[in-house]
Structure 1
Amino acid sequence: MMCVLGLLGIILMILDNELTFAHIDHHDTIFNWFVKLTITISTVFLIGLVLYYHYYDISLYCVNNSIEHWCVGLTGRKIVLIVLEIVICAVHPIPRHFPIDQYPRDVRNNANSTKFYQSTPIPISLTYVPVDVALGLPMFARLYLCCRFITFHSHLVRDTSSQSLGYLNKISINFVFVIKTYFEQSPIRCLVIFCTLVFLIGSWSLRACDFKSNNEHISIFDAMWFFIVTFTTVGYGDVTPATYCGRSVATIACIVGILVSALLIAVISQKLVLSRWERYVHNFVLNIELAKAHRHQAANVIIYAWKMGRFTKMNKYRSIQYIEAQQAFFRSIDAIKRIKQKQRTLADNNVGLAELLRAQRDTSATIDQSMQQMVTMRRKIDTVEKKLDNVNQTIQMIQRTLSHLLDRSIQSESV
């Protein structure tokens, strides 16, 4: 509901300003007054919903942290954020006075005809900004409500398992995290939507802030052309801002255009990178080609070595054929060296994070297996030691028995 009221206020603001731009004297009509009144009413409801939302947000925070009173959860940072949000939602063109026809139609016609036939219109100051435009442009900040709408309707926020997993890993599932996931899934779509919104808002802002030489607002098509030229940092110079407001909007458009260009380059670079399995297939094909080239050059080494030996036996080691075979022999050896270097480089490129994790996992498994074998071996050694002790005790008993029997036999013989 907050998102709907925010977008409704922005649409009505644009409608009110467009109706005002259509009049030469920029005076409000009765319809403009009712439109502004509608914006004011929607703003009041929006501020009430914002306060209601923050009340429930603080209550849930108190419940999650076992806080008895909601005043404890109302921290200084929370108060600043609430005040800032109320200020953003409260700025809007207000109905200042009810329009009444104070002059007869003949006087208005004479005034309009005088302005129409005036050959030298008074130039507009650089600091001039219409009041409704100055109060209307900050209303685009209400689009943050759309960000909140996207966050709360995301499956990552609505899913209890995702929330639990994020809490266990100390990851806050907020708007930034949700936008990162959306941008990871479909970066081109997110970039197109962002650029379209910036284009529409920036074009209308330039139309509202900039004026022609006859003190009329520039057309929306000229504003679109000027925004595209500024956004892409081309700057033909055929259209230039006439006020500080227009210059500010053009500066913001230029900065956003630079950031979007960098983001677009990053997205294109990411799309051009081979995936893990594609890289495996590509490296496998290259490895096969290098192996074929290695076998071919090795065969050439054997062939040219045989030719050199044959020419040597024929005493033609100073002939042109021998020199050509020798040169081809060394070229094949150099080619084999280059192929081996490429194979080593290709093997190094195959080692990525996944391979390192697999190697670490295999090493850990091998170490665990070795530790278990060592424990088993230690148990067997202990068992062998116990058996050796028993054997030692048995031998000692046999020795005592034999010595006793020997003593008895000696005594019997002496008797």
Structure 2
Amino acid sequence: MISFMNLELLLSVFMFLRLYLVHRAILLHSKVLLSASYRSIGSLNNINFTFRFVLKVLMNKYPARTLLVFILLFWLTASWMLTLCERATADHMNMALWLIAITFLTVGYGDVSPNTGCGKVVCLLTGVMGVACTAMLVAVVTKKLALNKGEKHVHFFMLDIQISKRIRHAAANVLRECWLLHRANLSQENRGEQRRHQRCLLEAIRVFRHLRLKQRKLRDFASEMVDLPKMQMIMCDLSANWNNSYRELEQRILSMEQKLDELNHCFQQTSELLSHFLRQRSPEIR
């Protein structure tokens, strides 16, 4: 009886191998394979349109939706597999759903635990997949919360304006402390006041240098943010302009060659006419 149940369990688990049809359906119904422009550009760049490429495209375009569908499918599949594995001890689908959920979220309250080896393997795989999905979810949320290119440019521009204002204030403080120290040196009355103005002057110079260094680092970091698509478009425009100029130059050279041929032909006709005229005039002169 136990061997029959193990055989039935093994065959039931093998039933999930039919999930490869989902992979095939996603691959065949994706817009990547149905688009002729995708295929033509991909063939020029030696891109193989496999399921891995389609999955990357889906994760870039619809990351939250793709992760949610994958988590739901994995949750239902793992719960059904756990129900099959624990059929001999407890046949409750709701308990399997609860155990898979808390294991997937790496919480593990301990109120429910698998009893068979197959159930323990399923829970182990669920924990591994939970950690992987959590990492992907963190990456997706970080990407959504990150500033885009326009927002980064605006942010750095406003920071640069604020630092410039602080630099002007720090420069004014340096000039003020220099004047106060000069006036205290002229009076030669209170040495404590001179030392206080010296300390204030050194502090103002330190703040001024710190702000200048901060502004330099900010501008260096902003200059490193090169917009590669924009640079590519500029280079394409320059290449197109150079090609147009080269074609215009070729046309001008060809037109000049044609004009030179016409001039040569005219010179030949003129020389022939002159020689014919001179041959006609030579008997008359004799």
Q: Determine if the TM-score, normalized by the shorter chain, exceeds 0.5.
A: yes
Residues 43-54 of structure 1 mapped to structure 2, 5 A cutoff: none
Task: Choose from 91, 99, 103 the match for 1:230.
Answer: 103
Matched residue, 2:36: 160
Task: Choose from 11, 14, 24 the match for 1:135.
Answer: 11
State how far apart, in whole Å, the 1-side matches of 2:32 and 2:229 are.
30
Q: 1:311 to 1:192 in 2, by over 3 A?
A: same
Question: Cα deviation per residue 1:57-93 (whole Å; 9 max; x = unaligned)?
Answer: xxxxxxxxxxxxxxxxxxxxxxxxxxxxxxxxxxxxx
Residues 4-403 of structure 1 mapped to structure 2, 5 A cutoff: 129-211=5-87, 215-316=88-189, 318-320=191-193, 322-350=194-222, 351-354=224-227, 358=231
Question: Cα deviation per residue 1:115-168 (whole Å; 9 max; x = unaligned)?
Answer: xxxxxxxxxx8x995543321222222122122112211222111121111101
CA-CA distance at 1:337 after TM superposition: 1.4
State how far apart, in whole Å, the 1-side matches of 2:213 and 2:231 are.
25
State how far apart, in whole Å, the 2-side matches of 1:169 and 1:313 are.
77
State how far apart, in whole Å, the 2-side matches of 1:129 and 1:228 are.
26
- SS of the counterpart of 1:274? coil
Matched residue, 2:269: none
State how far apart, in whole Å, the 2-side matches of 1:316 and 1:264 are.
70
TM-score of the aligned structures, taking structure 1 as reference length: 0.53
State how far apart, in whole Å, the 2-side matches of 1:179 and 1:222 are.
32
One-letter identity of the residue aligned with 1:346: L
State how far apart, in whole Å, the 1-side matches of 2:50 and 2:91 are.
40
Query: By percentage of residues, which structure has more helix?
Result: 2
Would the aligned equivalents of 1:166 and 1:172 in 2 still touch at CA under 8 Å? yes
Unpaired runs of 5+ residues, structure 2, are: 246-286
Question: Cα deviation per residue 1:185-244 (whole Å; 9 max; x = unaligned)?
Answer: 121111111111111111121122115xxx542422211221122212233322221111
- SS of the counterpart of 1:235? coil
One-letter identity of the residue aligned with 1:142: R
State how far apart, in whole Å, the 1-side matches of 2:41 and 2:81 are.
43
One-letter identity of the residue aligned with 2:156: N
CA-CA distance at 1:265 after TM superposition: 2.0
Give the greater-gyration-radius structure (CA). 1
Identity %: 33
Question: Cα deviation per residue 1:307-351 (whole Å; 9 max; x = unaligned)?
Answer: 11111111145133x333222221111111111121122112211
| Cα RMSD for the two superposed structures | 3.0
Matched residue, 1:411: none
State how far apart, in whole Å, the 2-side matches of 1:333 and 1:161 are.
61
State how far apart, in whole Å, the 2-side matches of 1:308 and 1:292 are.
24
Would the aligned equivalents of 1:129 and 1:209 in 2 still touch at CA under 8 Å? no
Would the aligned equivalents of 1:129 and 1:245 in 2 still touch at CA under 8 Å? no
Q: 1:188 to 1:289 in 2, by over 3 A?
A: same
Would the aligned equivalents of 1:151 and 1:174 in 2 still touch at CA under 8 Å? yes
Q: 1:333 to 1:356 in 2, by over 3 A?
A: farther
Would the aligned equivalents of 1:183 and 1:190 in 2 still touch at CA under 8 Å? yes
State how far apart, in whole Å, the 1-side matches of 2:24 and 2:124 are.
27
CA-CA distance at 1:352 after TM superposition: 2.4
State how far apart, in whole Å, the 2-side matches of 1:203 and 1:340 are.
61
State how far apart, in whole Å, the 2-side matches of 1:254 and 1:353 are.
41
Question: Cα deviation per residue 1:260-290 (whole Å; 9 max; x = unaligned)?
Answer: 1221222222222211111101100100000
Would the aligned equivalents of 2:89 and 2:115 in 1 still touch at CA under 8 Å? no
Q: 1:337 to 1:354 in 2, by over 3 A?
A: same
- SS of the counterpart of 1:271? helix
One-letter identity of the residue aligned with 1:325: H
- SS of the counterpart of 1:319? helix
